[in-house]
Each structure stands twice: as structure tokens, then as C-alpha cells.
Amino acid sequence: MLSWTVTLGWTAFIVYLLLKHGNAPSAPFLASFFRMDFSREELREAVGHFAMFGTLTLLWWSTLIQHYSVRYALLATVMIAVLLGTGTELGQYFVARSSVILDLVANFAGITVTMLCLQFIVSRQGGLVAARDSGRYLR
């Protein structure tokens, strides 16, 4: 129960942070989203996005793995994280916030790096996972 509370709390916190009203973009949404010249502030924010979505992925994985097979937990974790990462970036259009493609890339990088680390850990601890999942683990 605690893992669900922490995971859902972190998810709500991320959604709040990324969709709270901010400064209106100086250019149209698509023009600002696809520009490639990033300020130092945007690069720092990208590091934050990487960490937030890496943590989000880890929390969803650790919660779902307690209840489902490794494969299902992997698939559900990736789907949840990618949908949240994409949805919050696109949703910034509706709350008059600027969004840049760097944020979306950082979201996906955090998800990918965390999932690769988890897959490595799972493959190294195959015996433990196999016992828990009756042989249904990643290879």
C-alpha cells in the first residue's frame, strides 16, 4: 500500500509541476517546441526532467513488480511513463507554458536509462526473479 501511495503521489507531483501555469511562450507553441537553441536554464530544466522521469519509472516499476510479472510490469511502466512524459509536454500548450523538444527528449532519456538499468539488474538476479515469476522473466 505504501508503494502505491508514494508512486501515485510522485506522479501527481510531476503532473502538477509540469502543468502549473507559467510564463506564456514568446513564440507559437510549435515554433518554440522545435527550436534548437537552448539556454542554460533550459539545459538545467532538462536535467530535472531526466531525474523526475527516471524516478517516476523506478517507482512505477517497483510498485508494479510486486503485483505482476516482470514482462507486464516492464510494459506497463514504459507505457505509463511515456504517456505522462508526452502528455505533460503537450499539455503545456493549454496552460500557456513554453515547451521545448529538449524536455521531451530528457523525459524519454530518463525513462530509457532507468529501464536499461532495471533490465540489467533483473538479468543479473535472474534466479530471484524466476522464483517470483515462475520463469517468466526478461532475457
Q: Is the pLDDT of residue 27 over 60?
A: no
Whole-prediction pTM: 0.80
Give the C-alpha separation, 49 to 58, whole Å.
14
- Tens of pLDDT, residue by residue over 7-17, are 999 999 999 99
User: For residue 48, what pLDDT band results from cuts at 50, 70 and 90?
Assistant: very high
The residue that leads in pLDDT, 27 or 122, is 122
Report whether 80 contacts 60 (CB < 8 A).
yes
The residue that leads in pLDDT, 32 or 112, is 112
- Tens of pLDDT, residue by residue over 92-113, are 878 877 777 888 999 999 999 9
**Residue 126 confidence (pLDDT):** 66
The residue that leads in pLDDT, 21 or 64, is 64
- What whole-number percentage of the chain has pLDDT above 70? 78
**Spacing of C-alpha 65 from chain mean position:** 17
- Tens of pLDDT, residue by residue over 116-127, are 998 888 887 764
Q: Measure CA of the first residue to CA of the last residue in the chain; give whole Å.
A: 30
Report whether 76 contacts 64 (CB < 8 A).
yes
Q: Is the pLDDT of residue 56 over 70?
A: yes
